[in-house]
Chain A
Amino acid sequence: MSQTDLSINTAATAGQVKPRRHSFFYAGRRDSPFKRLLIHAALWIACLIAVYPVLRILSVSLRPGNRLLSTDLAIIPANATLESYRIVLFEKPFLTWIWNSLSITVATALIGVILAATSAYAVSRHRFPGRSPMLVFLLTTQMIPSSMLIIPLYILAVQLNLVATYRGLVIAYAVTAVPFSIWILKGYYDTIPIDLEEAARIDGCSEIEAFLRILMPLSTPALAIVFLFNFTTAWNDYLLARVILGSKEELLTWPLGLQRLQAQFLTQWGQFSAASIMVAIPVMLLFLYTSKYLISGLTLGSVKG
C-alpha cells in the first residue's frame, strides 16, 4: 500500500464519511493493567503541569487587595472575592475591548479565508510563471520579526490615512496570515485529485463553479484551520494594534486594554488577572470546539510526501 493510495483514500473520504476507526487505536487494546495505570498517572501529571500556572492566574484574580505575589499557595485564596471581576466588567471598558477585538478578528478571519482560498487555488491548480518564486516569497515573509515593521507600517498608515481606523488593521492582519494560510490550503488542495474538477468541467461547469462546488466543500478541515489561524493572529496581536489604534480609546482591542491596567509600578494585578482569565476562556472554548478539525485537517494535507 503506497503513500499515494493512502492519501487518495483519506482525501476521498474527507468530509463525507468518518475515517475508519479500527486502525487508530491499535495500541492500548492489550496493555496490562499496570501499564495502563502508569499511562494514566503520567497523563495526570502532564495535565497538572499544563494547567497549574493558569490556576495561579485565577487565584491572583480572586485575591483581595492588589497583590501579584503572596505567601499563600492556595488556589482559592482566603477571603476570595470577585471584586476584581466586577471592576473589570463594569467599571472598565472591558466589554468594549472584547467587542472591538471580536469585530476585528471576525472580519480578519473572513477576509483572510477568502483571500487564502482563492490564492491557494490559483497556486495549486495553475502552473503560472513566477509561481515558485512567489511561494518562496510567501515563506520568507514568515521570517521577518514584526518589530522591524512597526515604524514603516505606521508611516505608511499615516500616508494612506489608515491610522485610528480598523481598515488598516484588518488588512494588515489578513495579509500577515495569508502566507501560512496559502501554504496550508495549497498542500491540502494538492491531495485532492483534479479528476473530480475535470469531470465537473466536462459536464459544463465553469472553472469558478468547479472550484466553489467541488473543491471548497472537500477542503472544510483546512478552511477551519485557516480560519482559526487568522483568528488567533488578529485576536492576540499587540504590536500592530498599538501602532495603528494606540491613540483612540474607544477603538482599543483587549491586548491594548490589558496594557492600560499595567503601569510601571502600579499594575492592578487583580484586575489584570481577572481580565486575563476572561479573555482566555472564550479562546479555550473555541480551541476545544475546533480541535477535532485541527487534528484531522492538519495531517490530511501532508501525508502525501
Chain B
Amino acid sequence: MSKKWMPLVSILLIAVFVLAACAPAATPTEVPPTAVAQPTEQVVQPTEARTTPPPTQAPEAVKIVLWTKEGEADGGLQFVQSLADAYTKANPTVTFEVVNKDVETLREDFQTTSLAGNPPDLLWTVSDHAGPFTTADLIQPVDDMVDLTKFVESAVAAVQLNGKTWGVPISNGNHLMLLYNKDLVPNAPKDTDEMIQMAKAITKGDTYGLVFNQTEPFWLVPWLGGFGGKVFAADGVTPTLDTPEMVATLQFLHDLKYTEKILPKESDYNGADTLFKEGKAGMIINGDWSLADYQKTLGDKLGVAPLPVVKATGKYPAPYTSGVFFMIPKNLAGAKLDAVKSFIDFVTSEENQLNMVKTLKRLPALKTALQNELITKDPILAGSALQMTYGTPMPTVIEMRCNWDAMKPEMQAVLANQKTPEAAAKAMQPAAEACIKKLQ
C-alpha cells in the first residue's frame, strides 16, 4: 500500500509546487480582496442605495475591515454589503472587507485581536458591547465626529457612559412586543387580564394561548417594568434585584404557567418560535428581529401590538430597547478614520435609513426617518414603533452582565416550580453583588 502511495504523493506535491509558483505570493498583510462570486440572495433583494455620499477627503487607497453582527438569515449581511459596495462605487479609493461574526464571537474576537494589536477598522454591533469595550479601553468616543442630535435620544443614551458617547446609532429597537395570530386571537388584548382570558379560551391539547422564551431574563424585564421595578438603582450600577416588584413579576410569570395554565411546560426560543409558526400558539412575545420571518409564514394573519397593560399597576410593560451601532476602535486615525467617518454619514443618511426600513423592517435611529410614512402607514412597523415608545433603554454598563447572569437561573427555577418567587428574588441579589465585586 505504501508503494502505491509514493508516486501519488509525489505527483500531488509537484502539482502543488507548480501552482504555488504560478499564483502570486500572498503577502500576509495586504491580500487584495479577490472578487469571489457573491451568492445572489433570492430571499431579500436589498434596494440600491442611491444617495450620493459626501465627497471624501481621502485620496489614498484605503481598505476598511468592517466586522458586523448582521447575518445572512434576515438579509442584514447583504444589506451591509450593498451599502459598502455603493460607497465604493462612489469613492473608488475606499474598499471594504465585510466580515460577519455572531454577537458573542464578535465581542470575544475583538478583545483578542485588540490584545494582539490588529483589531478591525470598524464595528457594526449591538449596544451592550459598549460596556466591555469601554472598560477595556478598546474604542474611541464619537462626540466630535458626528452630529448626535439628529438621532433619537433613547438610542444615543444607550451608549453614553462616563459622559461620552461611544457609538453612532444605525437602527433602534430590538425590543419585545406582543405578536398574535389573527386566526386564533382576532384582536390584541388591552390588559393582562384580557390577555389571560383570551389565552385560556384557546389553550387545549397541544395549542397554547401564550408562548415565549422561558429561559432568558430578557423576557422577564418588560414585566418587571410593568410592575414598576428596575434592575439598577438610580446610579445605574448598583443592582436592585431583591425587590417587591421583582417578586410580583416572578409571581405573575409563575401564575401564567401553573395557575392560569396558558404556557407550555418548558419552552426555549426555538420551542416558542416553532409553536407560533405551526399555528399552535395564539400569542408570542418576541422581538422585532423576528417580524420578517413571521410575516413570511403568517402573512396577513400576523398582528403586532404593545405588551398589554399590567392590570395590577395600570402600567405598560417596558421592554428593553437597544440598537445597532457603529463603534470605532481606539487607535484608528488618519486616512482610515476619515473614510470611516464619511461612511458612517453615508449609512445614517435619511435615504439609506429608509432603505433599511424597507429591506430589514427595522426602526431607524434618525429622527426624521422615524416620522416617515413608510413607518406610520405600515401596521407592523407602526405597532413596533408604538411599543418602542413604551420601552426603556437597556443598560450597557458591564455590571449589567452580572444582572443577567443572576436573574437567569432564578427565573428558570421559578418557572420550573423549583423555587418560590420570594426565595428566587432573595438569591438573585447576592449573586449579582458577588459578580460585580469580581469585576473590580
Chain A residues at the B interface, C-beta cutoff of 8 Å: 15, 65-71, 90-93, 96, 110, 150-151, 154-155, 158, 161-165, 216-217, 220, 223, 242-243, 246-250, 259-269
User: What is the chain B residue whose CB lies nearest that of A220?
Assistant: B1
Contact at A158–B118, with CB atoms within 8 Å? yes
Query: Which of B65, B271, B278 is in CB contact (< 8 Å) with A247?
Result: B65
Given A71-B206, A217-B2, A246-B109, residue A263 in contact with residue B102 (CB < 8 A): yes
* Residues of chain B within 8 A of A268, CB atoms compared: 72-73
Contact at A265–B28, with CB atoms within 8 Å? no
Chain B nearest CB from A49 CB (Å) reads: 24
A80 to B297, CA, bound (A): 17
* Residues of chain B within 8 A of A220, CB atoms compared: 1-2
Given A67-B274, A263-B102, residue A161 in contact with residue B29 (CB < 8 A): yes
A265 to B271, CA, bound (A): 12
Measured as residues with beta carbon below 8 angstroms from the partner, the interface class of chain B is 35 or more
User: What is the chain B residue whose CB lies nearest that of A156?
Assistant: B116
Chain A nearest CB from B288 CB (Å) reads: 11
Q: List 12 A-B contacts (CB under 8 A).
A: A65-B277, A67-B277, A68-B274, A92-B39, A93-B39, A151-B115, A161-B28, A161-B29, A165-B26, A242-B105, A249-B36, A267-B73
Given A93-B39, A163-B28, residue A264 in contact with residue B102 (CB < 8 A): yes
Given A92-B39, A247-B99, A262-B102, residue A155 in contact with residue B115 (CB < 8 A): yes
Contact at B71–A266, with CB atoms within 8 Å? yes
Given A92-B39, A164-B28, A220-B1, residue A243 in contact with residue B112 (CB < 8 A): yes
Residue B270 at the chain A interface, CB threshold 8 Å: yes
Contact at B41–A265, with CB atoms within 8 Å? no
Contact at A91–B40, with CB atoms within 8 Å? yes
Chain B nearest CB from A180 CB (Å) reads: 21
Main secondary structure of the interface of A (DSSP, over half): loop
Contact bitstring B27-59, A, C-beta under 8 A = 1, else 0? 011010010100111100000000000000000
Residue B9 at the chain A interface, CB threshold 8 Å: yes
**B residues 113-157 with Cβ under 8 Å of A?**
113, 115-118, 120
Contact at B3–A164, with CB atoms within 8 Å? no
Residue B100 at the chain A interface, CB threshold 8 Å: yes
Contact at B2–A223, with CB atoms within 8 Å? yes
Contact at B99–A154, with CB atoms within 8 Å? no
Residue B280 at the chain A interface, CB threshold 8 Å: yes
Query: Which of B271, B277, B293 is in CB contact (< 8 Å) with A266?
Result: B293
Contact at B72–A260, with CB atoms within 8 Å? yes
* Residues of chain A within 8 A of B269, CB atoms compared: 265
Additional A-B contact list (15), CB under 8 Å, known A162-B28, A267-B73: A69-B270, A90-B39, A151-B112, A154-B112, A155-B115, A158-B118, A216-B2, A246-B105, A247-B99, A247-B109, A247-B120, A263-B71, A265-B269, A265-B289, A266-B71
User: What is the chain A residue whose CB lies nearest that of B126?
Assistant: A264
Residue B287 at the chain A interface, CB threshold 8 Å: yes
* Residues of chain A within 8 A of B36, CB atoms compared: 93, 96, 249-250
Contact at B116–A154, with CB atoms within 8 Å? yes
Contact at A164–B99, with CB atoms within 8 Å? no
Contact at A91–B42, with CB atoms within 8 Å? yes
Residue B101 at the chain A interface, CB threshold 8 Å: yes
* Residues of chain B within 8 A of A150, CB atoms compared: 112
Given A161-B28, A165-B26, A263-B73, residue A65 in contact with residue B297 (CB < 8 A): yes
User: What is the chain B residue whose CB lies nearest that of A96?
Assistant: B36
* Residues of chain A within 8 A of B26, CB atoms compared: 165
* Residues of chain B within 8 A of A110, CB atoms compared: 9
User: What is the chain A residue whose CB lies nearest that of B206?
Assistant: A71
Contact at B289–A266, with CB atoms within 8 Å? yes
**B residues 233-281 with Cβ under 8 Å of A?**
269-271, 273-274, 277-278, 280
* Residues of chain B within 8 A of A217, CB atoms compared: 2-3
Residue B331 at the chain A interface, CB threshold 8 Å: no
Residue B103 at the chain A interface, CB threshold 8 Å: yes
Query: Which of B1, B31, B40, B120 is in CB contact (< 8 Å) with A164?
Result: B31
A65 to B297, CA, bound (A): 8
Given A91-B39, A220-B1, residue A158 in contact with residue B117 (CB < 8 A): yes
User: What is the chain A residue whose CB lies nearest that of B117?
Assistant: A158
Contact at A70–B71, with CB atoms within 8 Å? no
A65 to B298, CA, bound (A): 12
* Residues of chain A within 8 A of B28, CB atoms compared: 161-165
User: What is the chain B residue whose CB lies nearest that of A246?
Assistant: B109
* Residues of chain B within 8 A of A269, CB atoms compared: 270
Residue B191 at the chain A interface, CB threshold 8 Å: no
- Give the 10 A-B residue pairs with the shortest CB-CB distance, closest first: A161-B28, A263-B71, A266-B73, A158-B116, A155-B116, A69-B274, A91-B39, A220-B1, A68-B270, A247-B99
